[in-house]
Structure 1
Amino acid sequence: MSLHADARAVLGAWSAPDARQEELRRSYLEHLDAHEDAMWRECLPGHVTASSAIISADGSRVALVLHGIHNLWLQTGGHCEPGDATLAGAALREATEESGIEGITLLPTPVRLDRHAVPCGGGSHHLDVQFAAIAPPDAVLVRDPNESNDLGWFPVDEVPEPSDEPCRALVRAAASAVAEHLRAGRATRA
């Protein structure tokens, strides 16, 4: 299955949590149907990207990067690359590259979508598919200076400034998904 087909399948099966997210889901599917190159940054009307909020193993903290261009604290993520077989794989690759954390667990389905303007190609949009990720208990952040200006752990309910509302919304959604995942794991083991 191609990355384009995987994105179509993931978004086709995803249950949006509210009407605004459903509207975005449908617009992403329409974009994928209209653009064979929708997964690549060369698609200038907009292109699908993948990101994730990395939540600590105990669910209390989120790892964020200080973005080098926007100078905002944001989640890990970015453009899909030719070696990416799946959207989830792209999100996991970006999370690992940008945080330096090995052994991240990505929850299998997106937690939200966010469409935002970016300077790519002189002006475009990212159609971001956002996941929740869980760091291993012994996770150590290792910043790559080519990836960000800074990197840090923050309480999930205290996203640092400067940031933006889409990042805060993702952190809330990811923290909730991870908490539910952790509760279900404890129930399964009991």
Structure 2
Amino acid sequence: MTLHADAVSTLSRFSGQDALREAYLGFLAAREDACRRSCEPGHLTASALVLDATAEHALLTLHPRVGRWLQLGGHCEPEDVSLAAAALREATEESGMRGLRIEPTPIHLDVHPITCSLGKPTRHFDVRFLVRAPVGAQPVRSAESVDLQWWPLDSLPDNVDDLHPLIESALARLR
């Protein structure tokens, strides 16, 4: 199965955010290159809300280009066989932690305008997954981050208002 076919299958099974899910599926139907960063009108990305083993802390990265604390994630790569695999790869690369476990069904969708590595304004159709870290996991900052920290879910940094729906979706999945 191609990444594009996996994206269609994954989003077809996603429950919630119905209008946005249908917009993603329409974009995928119109663009065979929708999962490639070279797709200038926009492209699917995969991200991971990494929670610690107790589900009391989220691992956030201080993104160098955006200057804000965000969940881990990024562009799909040619070797990614699924959106979940892309999100897990990004979480592993950006956290430096091994043994991460991903929930295979997305927990949240978000479209946002951005000027990414193409140097041109575009949109990211972000598909967000829940990832759990093993007990005692300690992150190691990569070159893709200015900082990397565990944040208590009840004491997040000030500029993360747009992460609250993602965190609420993750906690609802855990209940």
Normalised by the size of structure 1, how large is the TM-score?
A: 0.88
Moved beyond 3 Å, runs of 4+ = none
The answer to whether residue 91 in structure 2 is matched with residue 95 in structure 1 is: yes
| Alpha-carbon distance in structure 2 between the residues aligned to 1:36 and 1:79 | 16
1:22-69: CA deviations, max 9, x gaps? 111000000000001000111111100000110111111110000010
Q: Work out the percentage of aligned pairs sharing the same amino acid.
A: 46
Which consecutive unaligned segments of at least 5 residues does structure 2 have? none
| Alpha-carbon distance in structure 2 between the residues aligned to 1:151 and 1:133 | 16
The answer to whether residue 145 in structure 2 is matched with residue 152 in structure 1 is: no
Aligned residue pair count = 173
- RMSD over aligned CA atoms reads 1.1
| Alpha-carbon distance in structure 2 between the residues aligned to 1:170 and 1:68 | 21
Normalised by the size of structure 2, how large is the TM-score?
A: 0.95
For 1:1-190, what aligned pairs fall within 5 Å after superposition?
1-16=1-16, 21-120=17-116, 121=118, 122-144=120-142, 146-163=143-160, 165-177=161-173, 179-180=174-175
Q: Name the larger-Rg structure.
A: 1
- What SS class does the counterpart of residue 130 from structure 1 fall into? strand
Q: Which amino acid aligns with 2:139?
A: L
- Contact residue 72 and residue 161 of structure 1 kept, 8 A: no
| Alpha-carbon distance in structure 1 between the residues aligned to 2:49 and 2:171 | 8
**Offset of 1:158 from its aligned partner?**
2.1
Q: Which amino acid aligns with 2:8?
A: R
| Alpha-carbon distance in structure 2 between the residues aligned to 1:154 and 1:168 | 13
| Alpha-carbon distance in structure 1 between the residues aligned to 2:83 and 2:46 | 6
